[in-house]
A and B are shown apart, each in its own frame.
Chain A
Amino acid sequence: GAVVSQHPSRVICKSGTSVKIECRSLDFQATTMFWYRQFPKKSLMLMATSNEGSKATYEQGVEKDKFLINHASLTLSTLTVTSAHPEDSSFYICSAYRDSGYTFGSGTRLTVV
């Protein structure tokens, strides 16, 4: 079946630094990748939609300059949290979409100290 690899699974960084999270579809090409954020005991909040070769579409309220998304190929999308602050600490999950099917990564727990 379709597999999406997301890493790192866990990262701790200092406030003010940037962190990059990778999402790879291992055995298929994803036309679209989505990035979600989950707060403790809350829903998965869609942050942005990423299509290969084009700029990401961000949801309302999500700062595009803070959460940089790059979709360089049909198998790789990256989310960079720039100048991270403690309030950016969260669980980030990517999802690859193809032919009406969604496959989720295992998520990244980001802690900003």
Chain B
Amino acid sequence: DQQVKQNSPSLSVQEGRISILNCDYTNSMFDYFLWYKKYPAEGPTFLISISSIKDKNEDGRFTVFLNKSAKHLSLHIVPSQPGDSAVYFCAASEGSSNTGKLIFGQGTTLQVKP
């Protein structure tokens, strides 16, 4: 049972344009969401997060949008840069359980072309 889903395994974008990565979840108890960037043979690097009390969080070129009714979140990167090319994972946690467990999506490989 995949509670966090990233249905697009890959995305290719031209440098300077916007990259939009999508993530859906099924567990309505999730209340904290994070996006990570990962290179092969390395651990994930934290990018940005959002709490369920918000619908948008922005940090520089990265913006995360949360639509709770649709159980959907997205990561916008603008402008995209070649250095953004990596695998992006969304993750969710159920804060009320206080376990801190993160459930990851399958990842989306982003390629930004110069």
Contacts and interface: CB of A to CB of B under 8 A. Distances in A.
Does B associate with A? Answer: yes
Interface of A: 4, 6, 9-10, 31-32, 34, 36, 41-46, 49, 91, 93, 95, 97, 100, 102-107, 109
19 contacts: A4-B43, A6-B43, A9-B41, A32-B100, A34-B100, A41-B107, A43-B89, A43-B104, A44-B89, A46-B103, A46-B104, A49-B99, A97-B100, A102-B100, A103-B46, A104-B36, A104-B45, A104-B46, A107-B43
A102 B43 contact: no
A69 B76 CA distance: 37
B43 A93 contact: yes
A34 B45 CA distance: 15
A105 B43 contact: yes
A44 B44 contact: yes
Contacts, number: 59
Q: Taking each of B9, B36, B100, B101, which has the highest tally of chain A beta carbons within 10 Å of its own beta carbon?
A: B100
B32 interface: yes
Contacts of B43: 4, 6, 93, 95, 104-107
- Most chain A CB inside 10 Å of its own CB: which residue of B43, B102, B105: B43
Contacts of B2: 43
A4 B103 CA distance: 20
A68 to B, nearest CB: 20
Given A34-B100, A102-B46, A106-B42, 14 more contacts: A34-B101, A43-B2, A43-B89, A43-B107, A44-B104, A45-B104, A46-B102, A49-B100, A49-B101, A93-B44, A95-B102, A100-B32, A105-B43, A109-B41
A31 B98 CA distance: 11
A46 B3 CA distance: 12
Contacts of A4: 43
Nearest to B103: A46
User: Which 6 interchain pairs have the tightest Cβ spacing?
Assistant: A104-B43, A97-B100, A44-B104, A43-B106, A106-B43, A43-B104
